[in-house]
Structure 1
Amino acid sequence: MQDLEIYIRDLELAKLTEWLGNQLDNLVLSEPASATAAIKGAGDYRGHRVRISAYPGASGKRYTSLVLEADELPWNTDLECARSAWRAMDGEIRCSQGEWQEGEPVEEEKWWRLDDRGEQLVVWN
């Protein structure tokens, strides 16, 4: 099972729906009950069901954590997924650089930040 996670700053649901709709077949996303409610959904990619979960308020109020889970996805890494999202949504996207392991300290952890300044490794804060 593949599991990708990216963080979207100031998420616009319409842009998320359009981007995922261009990547996945049979996309269905729930309408959130409130601005802080999780968005759940699913779509299909090459015959594989993709589970979609978006959690507003991750790492502060401005970011939404987007998690995609399936046996096969259109991207192989968080960074590939972030690049695709950034091109489609034209806002700030962040993702792990993929080196962190559970239990390791995160104080100086570097994250990829993709925005109008380009791609940069940054400390989250």
Structure 2
Amino acid sequence: MQPDIEIYLKDADQEAVHAWLATAFKHCSAWRRKGSLARCDCDGIEVTWYNKAVGSWHSLLFASSATPWDSDLACAQAAFAALAVEIRCAPGSWQEADGEADADRWLKVNAQGIEEFIWRS
């Protein structure tokens, strides 16, 4: 299990994302918006939406390891299946102590499948 889950969604509609969250969790509160971010609570987990965190990519962060998914990739696959937009995520849990060499390694999930690539955000 990862300590948290974070995925990046290409041009995703925030309300469509919330509708997907409502199917993945028993209870999701409405978004509480403040500037370019919004938060909701899904089964006691704080979920943060960073609008256009990197260019046209939105970040979705689950501040818990107790999500329905055991990895960023599992969440990315579920999000792609529900939303049909390209999703990006780290290939595993990364921390600054791991060094810069692997910081740009990412996975993308789209209609072609899963592919590792270098994303210099």
TM-score of the two chains, using structure 1 as the length reference: 0.83
Gaps of 5+ in 2: none
Say which structure is richer in strand. 1
Q: Distance in 1 between matches of 2:106 and 2:64?
A: 23
The structure 1 segments of at least 4 consecutive aligned residues displaced by more than 3 Å after TM superposition are: 31-34
Percentage of matched positions with identical amino acids:
27
Counterparts of 1:71-110 in structure 2, within 5 Å, are 72-98=66-92, 100-103=94-97, 104-105=99-100, 109-110=104-105
Partner of 1:40: 39
Query: What residue in structure 1 maps to residue 3 of structure 2?
Result: 2
1:76-105 CA-partner distances (Å, limit 9, x unpaired): 000000000000000010000016331411
Gaps of 5+ in 1: none
Tell me the residue number matched to 1:11. 12
CA positional deviation for 1:29: 3.0
Give the counterpart letter for 1:116 in structure 2: A
The 8 Å contact of residues 100 and 109 in structure 1, kept in 2 or not, is answered as no
Cα separation, partners in 2 of 1:108 and 1:51, compared to 1, 3 Å: closer
Structure 1 vs Structure 2 CA RMSD: 2.1
